[in-house]
Amino acid sequence: MTNFFTKSAVAFVMLGLATSVSAKGYKEIEVSDGGSLVGTVSAGGAESESRSYNISKDPEICGEGTREVPFVEISETGMLMNAVVFLNKVKEGKAFNKDEVDLTLTQEKCEFAPALGVMANKGKLTAINSDHTLHNIHTYEQIGKARRTVMNVSQPNAGDTVTKAVKLRKGNGMKVECDAHDFMHSFVYVAKNPYYSVVNAEGGFSIDGIPAGTYEVKMWHGFLGEVEVGDVTISAGGESSMELSY
C-alpha cells in the first residue's frame, strides 16, 4: 500500500539551544552507555480510513474532480503507518538534533507536504504558499478530542511565507488544515523530548541513547489519537523490545 504520509525525520534541537526550544523541565546531559527501545506497531483494531473531497475551487491549480485523503493507512502485513512511539515526561537525556529543530510545510497544487511532519516543541514552523491562489493555514493543537488554534494565517499570494514558534501546552501533535480548501490536511508530531520514533515502512521503530531507568511509553497517531502503552525498563547499554498494537 502506498504510504500517503511521508516519513519525516525526527525533529530535534541543538544542545546550545536547549533552554529555548526543548520542553520545560527537560535537561540535556551527556549520555554514556545509553540503552535502546525497538519494536513494531501493528494496526490491532484500527482499520484503514480515507475520505473523499470534492475539489470545488481552483481546479486549474488543485486539480479536478475529487481528492481521496487517507487518514489511516495499514500495510499489507497489518502494520500501522504514520504512528509515533515516544517516551513520555523524560526529565533528562541526550541532546536534540540541531539540524532538525524546525519544520517547513509547503503548499503546492493545494496539497501540504509533508503530510506527516515532526518538529520540536518551541521550534519554528514555516509555511510556504507555492500556489497562485489564496491559502489560509490553520493549525490546531490536539488535546484529546478537543483542539486549540496555534496558527491561523492568510497567505493570498504565491511566495507568501509565515514562520511561527510552536509551543504546545498539553497535546503532542497538531492538525493542519487550509480554511480555503477543505481537502487539504496534514499532521505534525511536536516532540517535547528527543526520545521518539516515527514507524518505518515495515511498522518498526527504534529509539536510542536512553539513560538507564524506567519510562512510560506512549503512541501517537494524528487521526487515531494517543494511546498509553505502559512502562519499559531500559538497562545501560541494553536493548528492550515491545510489540505494540493500536
Of 3-17, 186-200, 204-218, which range is least confident?
3-17
Rounded to the nearest integer, the mean pLDDT of the chain is 90
- Phi-psi category of residue 115: left, alpha or beta, with phi > 0 → left and psi -120 to 50 → alpha: alpha
Sign, CA torsion 20/23/24/27:
negative
Higher pLDDT among residues 82 and 13, named by residue = 82
* Burial call 181-204: b when 16+ CB within 10 Å, e when fewer: bebbbbbbbbbbbbbbbbbeeebe
Report the percent of the chain where pLDDT is more than 70.
89
pLDDT grade for 24, boundaries at 50, 70 and 90: low
Of 73-82, 92-101, 166-175, which range is least confident?
92-101
Query: Residue 70 pLDDT > 70, yes or no?
Result: yes
- In this predicted model, what pLDDT tens digit does every residue of 42-63 receive, in sequence order? 999 999 999 999 999 999 999 9
Total length of the chain:
246
Q: Across residues 143-160, what is the average pLDDT?
A: 96
Is residue 120 within 8 Å of residue 55, measured between CB atoms?
A: no
This prediction's pTM:
0.88
Grid coordinates of 184: 487539504
**Domains in the chain: ranges and CATH:** 15-245 (2.60.40.420)
**DSSP secondary structure, 42-87, as one string:** E-TT---EEEEEE--S-HHHH-SSEEEEEEE-B-TTSBBTT-EEEE
